[in-house]
Homo-oligomer: A and B are copies of this chain.
Amino acid sequence: MLPKGFFASGTHCGIKRFKKDLALIYSKSGCKAAGVFTKNKLKAAPLVISKLTLKKGAPIRAVIVNSGNANCCTGRYGIRDAKRMINAVSSLMGLKFGNILVSSTGIIGKRLQIGLIEAAVPKLTRGLSAKGLVSAANALLTTDRKVKIATEKFKVGRKEIIITGIAKGAGMVHPNMATMLSFIMTDARIDKDALTSALKEACRVSFNAISIDGDMSPNDTVLILANGLAGNGTIKRGTKEYRAFVKALKNVSFKLAKNIVEDGEGATKFVTVYVENAVTERDAEKVARMIANSCLVKTSIHGENPNWGRVASSVGSSGAAGIKPNKFEIYLDGVLLFKRGKFTTPGRDKISKVYKRKNVEITVNLNAGRKNAVIWTCDLSKRYVEINSHYMT
């Protein structure tokens, strides 16, 4: 469900053979906008352009996105073609270059089929509709099996505010550097500073808490647009309205992030890694990522093999502060398996239940401090190897 004043559209321009591959998001009034981008030093051309546009700070009216080609590692053509995508929308809709963001995902190293995109933009703009969300969300997908949409509503005074996001998968989950993209829209009136910090907060516990394989794609992008049409009093940092906004935004981005993990290539399990009582939050995260990125842990979950030793080894090699072998505890699906430096021998009955469900939990209590972290990941299957052995750049 689109927030007030937003319209969306998705179409097939021919980059992909049969599926939709071009999306447009449009707001009838100017939006405050913020973005979180990949930290990879290799950056795709559209990302470079969008970052610059956001920095200039003009109100954003539209986002154009293609799938099937990442417009990355495309040399001097890259920037040129990304600009042409924006210009195609700009001339047709009477917007300025600085009002439009651009994003791409798909194969890298191949010049963008810009002619196909330009030819399809008229159809794309004609298709804009308040009911166009599913169509746009579909046009983002690459190897995803399912469309990813999440919506939250909450009230500021008497005004109902809607936050809606769409996303596609990435990384370890959706490889070939297949870019995690998410576009979030809201009709909230909020100042730019508050919007930027809310997005950062939300990403930290959602998109940035998904275990990719340590790699970041050169295209990873999360954008949020806020057009203010809900008519609420402007949300500012540090207020209770701000906290309500952050909470709703976290819910949207968490749902999308969870969908991405669940839709992972070859994934059969959804894994939550909790690390508790670390010295600092960064230490907690270090341990959680070490566990979530371990091929050994991931394969043992796939095999429903309650291998606490691999978890213990990941904890020990994480490099986090305050780790003492005799102090930390490991629970798999709630069963305490490691304490005081050794196996707890909890009995066959309990052990036999570990890793059997689709939702799996690993909890490590470091007993070293008071900070926690959570990371989500999926298992590592033969199907994953199969898909990724043969997916060509």
Q: Which residues from chain A sit less than 8 Å from chain B, CB to CB?
A: 39-43, 72-75, 78, 107-110, 172, 175-177, 213-218, 290, 293-296, 299-300, 302-303, 305-310, 312-317, 323-325, 338, 340-343, 380-382, 384-386, 388-393
Chain B residues with CB under 8 Å of A108's CB are 309, 312
Report the copy number of this chain in the oligomer. Answer: 2
Expressed in whole angstroms, the Cα–Cα distance for A172 and B294 within the complex equals 9
CB distance from A273 to the nearest CB of B (A): 15
Q: A299-B388, A303-B390 are in contact. Are A75 and B314 (CB under 8 A)?
A: no
Expressed in whole angstroms, the Cα–Cα distance for A325 and B79 within the complex equals 14
CB distance from A40 to the nearest CB of B (A): 4
| Given A39-B317, A43-B325, A295-B380, 14 other A-B residues pairs in contact with their CB atoms under 8 A | A41-B315, A41-B317, A41-B324, A41-B325, A73-B312, A73-B325, A75-B342, A108-B309, A172-B296, A177-B309, A216-B313, A217-B313, A295-B384, A380-B385
Task: Indicate the member of A216, A340, A382, A393 with the most B CB atoms within 10 Å.
Answer: A393
Selected from B39, B109, B308, B323, the residue in CB contact (under 8 A) with A308 is: B109
Q: Are A303 and B380 in contact (CB under 8 A)?
A: no
Chain B residues with CB under 8 Å of A385's CB are 299, 302, 380-382, 384-385
Task: Indicate the member of A109, A176, A314, A343 with the most B CB atoms within 10 Å.
Answer: A109
CB distance from A175 to the nearest CB of B (A): 5
Q: Are A215 and B314 in contact (CB under 8 A)?
A: yes
Q: Are B215 and A307 in contact (CB under 8 A)?
A: no
Q: Are A73 and B109 in contact (CB under 8 A)?
A: no
Q: Are A213 and B41 in contact (CB under 8 A)?
A: no
Expressed in whole angstroms, the Cα–Cα distance for A392 and B312 within the complex equals 14
Q: A177-B310, A302-B389, A325-B43 are in contact. Are A213 and B295 (CB under 8 A)?
A: yes
Q: Are B313 and A40 in contact (CB under 8 A)?
A: yes
Expressed in whole angstroms, the Cα–Cα distance for A78 and B326 within the complex equals 13
Expressed in whole angstroms, the Cα–Cα distance for A314 and B389 within the complex equals 17
Q: Are A316 and B393 in contact (CB under 8 A)?
A: no
Expressed in whole angstroms, the Cα–Cα distance for A386 and B380 within the complex equals 10
CB distance from A169 to the nearest CB of B (A): 14
Q: Are B176 and A309 in contact (CB under 8 A)?
A: yes
Expressed in whole angstroms, the Cα–Cα distance for A104 and B310 within the complex equals 17
Chain B residues with CB under 8 Å of A302's CB are 385, 389
